[in-house]
A = this chain, B = another copy of it.
Amino acid sequence: MRYGIIGTGGVARTIADKLVSLGHEVTLGSRSKDNETAAAWAEQAGPTGHHGTFAEAAEFGEVVLNATPGTVALDALRAAGPERLAGKLLIDLSNPLVFSAEGELTLDPVNTDSVGERIQREFPQALVVKTLNTVTAPVMVDPSRLDGEHNMFVAGDDEGAKARTVALLGSFGWPSESVIDLGDITGARAMEMMMPFWIRLMKAFGTAEFNYSFKRAK
């Protein structure tokens, strides 16, 4: 399968490496064609790893993943172009974190909207699924780094798109029964709003490598 990844940061490259290791072909997309990080990634990735503009990555991908920060995701996807996203599964991994000069963390959007919803509204012909934003990058592509059963979440309006996302997560190592469906794309709001809690937990645990699991009534 051909994947286009919008973004060149740590999350983008971690996902890209995993997809290449699974035998897929990947184009890492950046704002400019000569992004050095993207070029270096493609160089070490071998013949199935490529780099290009946001538009080239989106054009290339049968599936497109947004791995830019949530605060710039809409701009990046506009640059990719709605016609290159139409009809495609568009997986949004982002969190709209805003860090103030004082180090205070807030979200924008929040509460009444989310990046996932904004993307779906702006690109109504894309099949947007929110997932993976609730764990650190190494855990996204290797859940076995954590012992025992723990959970991933998906939210999106299209059931088929969610099923394809669950299958992709399965290839990353997430058993389908570990993936909890939070409903339509407004569930992205709930998933993004976990970020302040996640950051507090990271400080309490002294590691970013943790994840949620659940205990239910007997």
Interfacial residues, chain A to chain B (CB-CB below 8 A) = 106-107, 110-112, 145-150, 155, 180-183, 187, 189-191, 193-194, 196-197, 199-201, 203-205, 207, 209-218
- Supply 4 further A-B pairs (C-beta < 8 A) apart from A110-B110, A149-B215, A210-B215: A145-B217, A145-B218, A205-B216, A209-B217
The distance from the CB of A4 to the nearest CB of chain B, in whole angstroms, is 29
Total identical chains: 2
Q: Say whether chain A's binding surface is mostly helix, strand, loop, or mixed.
A: mixed
Q: Point out the residue from B110, B155, B189, B210 that lies within 8 Å of A217, measured CB to CB.
A: B210
Residues of B within 8 A of A200 (CB): 155, 182-183, 187, 190
The distance from the CB of A193 to the nearest CB of chain B, in whole angstroms, is 5
A209 to B145, CA, bound (A): 28
A205 to B99, CA, bound (A): 34
Residue of B whose beta carbon sits closest to that of A205: B216
A179 to B201, CA, bound (A): 12
Q: Do B201 and A214 touch across chains, with their CB atoms under 8 A apart?
A: yes
A47 to B207, CA, bound (A): 49
Q: Do B150 and A215 touch across chains, with their CB atoms under 8 A apart?
A: yes
A173 to B106, CA, bound (A): 34
CB-defined A-B contacts under 8 Å, sample of 17:
A106-B112, A107-B111, A111-B111, A182-B204, A183-B204, A189-B196, A190-B197, A193-B194, A193-B196, A194-B197, A205-B214, A205-B216, A207-B217, A210-B214, A210-B216, A211-B215, A212-B214
A187 to B200, CA, bound (A): 7
A47 to B218, CA, bound (A): 34
Residues of B within 8 A of A189 (CB): 196
Q: Point out the residue from B194, B203, B215 that lies within 8 Å of A148, measured CB to CB.
A: B215
Residues of B within 8 A of A214 (CB): 150, 201, 205, 210-213
